[in-house]
Amino acid sequence: MSKVAQSVEVKCSSDTLMDYIIDITNHPAFIGPLKSVTNIKGDVKKPGTSWDWVYSLAGVELSGKAETIRFVPGKEFTYKTTTGAKSTFTYRADPAGAKTKLSLNVEYEVPTNALGKMKASVFEKLNDAEGKKVVENLKVVLEG
Amino acid sequence: MRPVLPWIAAYLAILLVWALIILRRTGPTLWKGRSLVAVNIAFVLVSTAAVLLKGRTLGDGMGGVAWCCFPPGFIAFDLVLIIVAVVVRNEWLLFRISHAETAAILERCFKQTRAPWVRRPGGYAVDCAGVDVRATIQPTLFGAVSVGFAGGAQSKKAALLRSLFGKHFHSSFPTPRIRA
């Protein structure tokens, strides 16, 4: 499994941050390649609640499913993709004085078939860059 | 003029096929002017390369030496394509969607990017982290809806807003979808 770990400090409370993130219909607003989140079956705060997602990458749309693993109010939201390459996303909010430290951790399997001759390290660097953009976009949305 | 007619016909055929693809879709499509920039530049390059490769003989007096020359009509047509592309490059047109539906999607995007907004004639005034952005919705000919975002060129929040809005629609070009 490969990992992405990014963090940023945001000028808002941890409750505000997690309330925004737990509404997964907001995710296309700060995850660039994520085109849509639909068909949410139940309360996203509850483990096992699933939804459909569509990613747009290099002119191709990739669709799949994901489900909640864990939600701790004001602290953590973890979900995993349940189709295709396995990945787990964890958003954490830790108070940092008047701000909140937002951490994004992603663990994923490198899909060697889809990559072809692309080296795993390049794929990892791309995902690291995307993870950085996600937390920066969250900061832009929440601080503005 | 005659040498350029096949190229005009080919270009119009491309536009017709493109229009049919867009109009036959079941959901709304966001047509961005920059897609026409891509099509027109590609067409200019391909047609220019084709004429260069084919070559031209100027006349018997040249002793059979082949020269490349571009008919004036061909040059004029290519110039028109480039000018049109420049003029429409920032246009956003929505097909198969009403003004009210467009407004509802825009307002949802404002909420999702946490950008306060107020209604104004023809659209909205949006606060993107202290930067004023004007979002407009206008009807056009043939039932399309024109959407514009003025201001906030350097604003990251405005960029996120525009990007999020665009995600609600089919893109200008066909996009294959694969199940993960």
- pLDDT of B114 > 60? The answer is yes
- pLDDT of B11 > 60? The answer is yes
pLDDT digits (tens, 9 = 90+) for A55-88: 988 788 889 999 999 999 999 999 999 987 788 9
pLDDT at A57: 81
Nearest C-alpha in B relative to A28:
B164
Give me the residue label for tokens 């525009």. B162
Residue extents of the structural domains in chain B:
2-90, 94-166
Write out chain B residues lying below 8 Å of A63, CB-based.
177-180
Check if A13 contacts B (Cβ < 8 Å): no
- Which residues between 30 and 49 in chain A have a beta carbon less than 8 angstroms from any beta carbon of chain B? 30, 32, 34-36
CA dist., res. A105 & res. A132, Å (int): 11
Nearest C-alpha in B relative to A17:
B114
Q: Which of B112, B110, B25, B24 is nearest to A34 (CA)?
A: B112
Please name the residue ranges forming H helices in chain B.
5-24, 33-54, 72-88, 99-112, 156-166
- pLDDT of A117 > 50? The answer is no
Candidate from A18-32, A90-104, A110-124 with smallest mean pLDDT: A110-124
- The predicted complex's ipTM stands at 0.90
Q: Tell me which of B25, B127, B177 to substitute to probe the interface with A (most A C-beta atoms closer than 10 Å).
A: B177
Nearest C-alpha in A relative to B116:
A144
- Put simply, whether the predicted model's pTM sits higher than 0.90 gets the answer no
* Topology annotation, domain B94-166: TATA-Binding Protein (3.30.310)
pLDDT at B56: 55
Write out chain A residues lying below 8 Å of B129, CB-based.
140, 143-144
- pLDDT of A143 > 50? The answer is yes
Nearest C-alpha in A relative to B112:
A26
On the 0-12 / 13-18 / 19+ scale of CB atoms within 10 A, A40 is middle
pLDDT digits (tens, 9 = 90+) for A2-33: 888 999 999 999 999 999 999 999 999 999 99
Which residue in the set A83, A84, A141 is minimally distant from B160, CB to CB?
A141
Which residue in the set B113, B115, B167 is minimally distant from A36, CB to CB?
B167
CA dist., res. A32 & res. A30, Å (int): 6
Count of pairs with CB atoms under 8 A, one residue in A, one in B? 66
pLDDT at A122: 57
**Which domains does chain A possess?**
2-143 (3.30.530.20)
Phi, psi of A2 (to 5 degrees): -100, 165
Question: Angle of helix A120-143 relative to helix B156-166, nearest 10 degrees?
Answer: 110
Candidate from B46-55, B57-66, B170-179 with smallest mean pLDDT: B57-66
Show the CA angle centred on residue B56, arms to residues B55 and B61, nearest 5°.
140
Task: Tell me the average pLDDT of chain A.
Answer: 89
pLDDT at A126: 64
Q: How many residues does chain A have?
A: 144
- pLDDT of B67 > 50? The answer is no
SS3 call for A6: strand
Which residue in the set A34, A59, A64 is minimally distant from B180, CB to CB?
A64
- pLDDT of B40 > 70? The answer is yes
Element (H, E) at B123: strand B123-128
Q: Which of B160, B141, B175 is nearest to B29 (CA)?
A: B175
